[in-house]
Amino acid sequence: MTRYRDRGNLKWLPFLMPEHIQLLKAYYLETHHIDFPVLDEQLQYPWQFLLEQALIEGIELEITYYSERGYVTTSGFIEQVHRERAYLVLRGPSLLEIPLGRIIRIENG
């Protein structure tokens, strides 16, 4: 005897119109949206010290930053810090430009 396995909402996908699929995707993005947290200004000084130390000594850092999709955590070595344009360049699996205003956490990696 075979066991019945319900496919859930998957069985109804062929009946959805493209407009419905767009609305469902937009609803999913809206419900899973994460807002940028309010950070304490006192965190800026230890982070600045860590960035300068990592730039001089070549220490690997783990950086968590905010993007439109949510929080992203990456690790790598600091290549450059552009204070006038407010971003840093991180060399990990690829070169990544991270805005300084969107950084949430910096730790030694």
Please, which residues bridge with residue 103 across strands? 65
Q: How far apart are CA 56 and CA 80, in angstroms?
A: 10
Q: Residue 58 has which token pair?
A: 């070549």
What is the radius of gyration, based on Cα positions, of the chain? Answer: 21
Q: What is the dihedral of CA 41, 43, 49, 52, to 10 degrees?
A: -80
**What's the pLDDT tens digit per position in 70-97?**
888 999 999 988 888 888 999 988 899 9
**Can you say whether the dihedral through the CA atoms of 82, 41, 63, 109 is positive or negative?**
positive
pTM for the model stands at: 0.67
Q: Residues of the chain with pLDDT > 90: what percent? A: 26
- Which residues face 75 on adjacent strands? 62
Q: Is the pLDDT of residue 9 over 90?
A: no
Q: Length of the chain, please? A: 109
